[in-house]
Amino acid sequence: MLVVFWHLAFEMKTLTILGSTGSIGTSTLDVVGRNRDLYRVYALVAGTNVDLLAAQIAEFGPQVAVVADDQVLRNLTDKLKANGLDRSKWPELAAGAKARVDAAVAPEVDFVMSAIVGVAGLEATYEAVCRGKALGLANKEVMVASGKLVTEAARRSGTEIIPVDSEHNGAHQCLRAGKRSEVRRLLLTASGGPFRQTPKELLASVTPAQALNHPTWKMGRRITIDSATLMNKGFEVIEACWLFGFTPDQIDVVVHPQSSVHAMVEYADGSVIAQVSATDMRMPIQYALTYPAREAAPVPRLDWSQPRHWDFAAPDWDKFPLLRLSYEAQRTGGSATCTLNAADEIAVDSFLCGEIGFTEIGEVVEETLGRVAASEPRTLEECMAVDQQSRRQAREIIAGRTTARSGYRTLVQAN
């Protein structure tokens, strides 16, 4: 009995979840809730969704809870009071960037799930890697904005970054089939998004509601728009370069609407190893948590007795220019991918607010890349400075377009 108890205690992992109220965060907590003898939550880090965070606090009993800012912190405090949670069960409450970092690097933490969308979680993720924390990476913007810095930090600390995105997680699994030197190329699959079959000339009139209607995955708003433009797949190409040591020319994107095959690796002898599973993020999340072991995951199994049809095709580079821009930015190197990410985030927000059209997202990103010269950031602070400069440029470009349209409408009305 004592031996069994020691084994369970030794195997238990203590987690910080960056982005606990997002889709990856809630799926991670679903896995944790099913395996309470294996995982416990040290910190939940969220943004502004205090209703869901308060419920997570009551269910998982973290020691720390972090939100975006002081106003949200007050809202969370009010929510915990309103819910009647016993004060003795309240975690330590904090807000802001420093609190996110503290939650990620605490000595009690074994594993950090990085799932905050955008660069908001970059500093906490980077510092966790520097401290040698095991990392489940679901935030591709971390690698897009600062892949060199993060991978160098991982090499120094000796930690391992396990990708959670279904495509990179699939690639990670496929690469276990042989030596890295035996690999010829990596193939990342893309569903093609909601506009896979939409003629290019109709894309300018696409509405946010249409773009948010993804055919396969239920995700946050930004990543869903990025999937509709194929920018998300471009980000994945960049992330794969850093995670696995590929050049852009060694990675191909293949449109696969069924989303059953997540990644494929072609080896030198022509063999292709594919990772196939249900479209359920709990599988890659659990893989990251249990690696290098495998455990039963709470996901549907594929029924191979049923007929199935899988399609594969090349992406339409002309219709989805952001995929091309992603490859170009990675080839340029340095801070170009940081600018790519920052400009896209601003452009997507503007599209969702109705300030620019769907096809203008790519135009804004390309123009921003032309205005912000690529550099070689040596620190996270320098990287964030490029991020801020790129955001300012993107906003200026969008403001110019909005002003021009307003002026044109005024002129038409006057005539």
Is residue 142 packed enough to be buried (19+ CB in 10 Å), middle (13-18) or exposed (0-12)? buried
Residue 89 has pLDDT above 70, yes or no: yes
pLDDT for the residue numbered 406: 66
Residue 98 has pLDDT above 80, yes or no: yes
> Taking residues 400-408, what's their average pLDDT?
74
> Taking residues 214-233, what's their average pLDDT?
86
The rounded percent of the chain whose pLDDT value lies above 90 is 85
Residue 321 has pLDDT above 50, yes or no: yes
> Taking residues 209-235, what's their average pLDDT?
88
> Taking residues 257-274, what's their average pLDDT?
96
Domain ranges of the chain: 2-163, 333-415
Q: Is there a contact between 211 and 228 (Cβ–Cβ < 8 Å)?
A: yes
Residues 6 or more apart from 113 whose CB is under 8 A from it? 15, 16, 17, 18, 19, 24, 25, 28, 136, 138, 164, 285, 288
pLDDT in tens, 27-56: 999 999 999 999 999 999 999 999 999 999
**10 pLDDT tier (thresholds 50, 70, 90):** very low
CA distance 228 to 319: 11
**214 pLDDT tier (thresholds 50, 70, 90):** confident
The domain at 333-415 falls in which architecture? Orthogonal Bundle (1.10)
Q: Which tokens is 233 given?
A: 């797949």
Q: Strand 134-137 and strand 251-255: pairing? A: unpaired
Q: Is there a contact between 218 and 211 (Cβ–Cβ < 8 Å)?
A: no
> Taking residues 127-132, what's their average pLDDT?
97
Q: Which CATH class is domain 2-163?
A: alpha beta
pLDDT for the residue numbered 278: 87
pLDDT for the residue numbered 66: 98
Q: Is there a contact between 107 and 44 (Cβ–Cβ < 8 Å)?
A: no
Residue 194 has pLDDT above 80, yes or no: yes
Residue 282 has pLDDT above 70, yes or no: yes
pLDDT for the residue numbered 74: 97
pLDDT for the residue numbered 7: 38
**412 pLDDT tier (thresholds 50, 70, 90):** low
Average pLDDT, the chain: 92
pLDDT for the residue numbered 9: 41
| DSSP three-state, residue 350 | helix
pLDDT for the residue numbered 140: 87
pLDDT for the residue numbered 217: 66
pLDDT for the residue numbered 295: 87
Query: How many residues are there in the chain?
Result: 415
Residue 1 has pLDDT above 60, yes or no: no
The rounded percent of the chain whose pLDDT value lies above 70 is 94
CA distance 184 to 207: 40
pLDDT for the residue numbered 240: 97
pLDDT in tens, 113-128: 999 987 889 999 999 9
pLDDT for the residue numbered 334: 96
Residue 414 has pLDDT above 60, yes or no: no
